[in-house]
Structure 1
Amino acid sequence: MPTIRPIADLRDTSKISELCHQKNEPVYITKNGSGHLVVMSMETYERQLGLLDVYRKLGAAEKQVEDGVSLLDGEEVFGRLREKHGK
């Protein structure tokens, strides 16, 4: 369930900050009953950016498969990485 607060709550920035860190999700701010802003902790923001990057990469990989780009063998790829990094 999303956390929704009126814009007047922004007067108490400590309270909003605490709420953002407790919920680990965006807090939606309304003005006159309509959506106006979204506030979130840095950790939540960075996690959202990371997920977006993963989704973009998955989309690009799916497009390559659709376009007939040949797939690499997983064991071969990991073997090369182990050789390169000595693990």
Structure 2
Amino acid sequence: MQIVPMRDLKDTVQIEKKCQNGPVFVTKNGYGKLVVMNMEYYESKIAKIAEADFINEGIVDFANGKINDGKEVIKELKDNLLK
């Protein structure tokens, strides 16, 4: 984790280089204000969040009894495809 003061944002080339190793935390008057990151890092984190959301939905469905037997589902799919 890298921390830089707000004034360092003027040197965009240097900030871009720092973002290659992960997000850069930007401070103003000693307090956190911004996080700067490259697109690849951002997209990978968003993908992980979406994945976790799907897993959580599955856990909630399981807890609420909204589940189907795998063998039954496969049989229904095969039956529907052969119609």
Interval containing the TM-score (normalised by the shorter chain): 0.7 to 0.9
Q: Which of the two has higher C-alpha Rg?
A: 2
Which 5+ residue runs of structure 1 have no aligned equivalent? Answer: none
Quick one: percent identity of the two aligned structures?
A: 32
Selected match of 1:67 from 64, 67, 76: 64
Quote the RMSD (CA, aligned, Å).
2.0
What does 1:35-74 correspond to in 2, within 5 Å? 35-73=32-70
Q: In the comparison of the two structures, how many residue pairs are matched? A: 75
For 1:18-73, what per-residue CA distance to the aligned partner results, in whole angstroms no more than 9, with x for missing partners? 1101x1x2111000000000000000010011011001111101000100112442
Aligned AA (1:64): D
Aligned AA (1:29): V
Indicate yes or no: 2:13 matched with 1:18: no
Q: Give the 3-state SS of the residue equivalent to 1:69 in structure 2.
A: coil
| Runs of 4+ deviating beyond 4 Å | none
Selected match of 1:30 from 24, 27, 47: 27
Q: Give the TM-score normalised by the residue count of structure 1.
A: 0.76
Which 5+ residue runs of structure 2 have no aligned equivalent? Answer: none
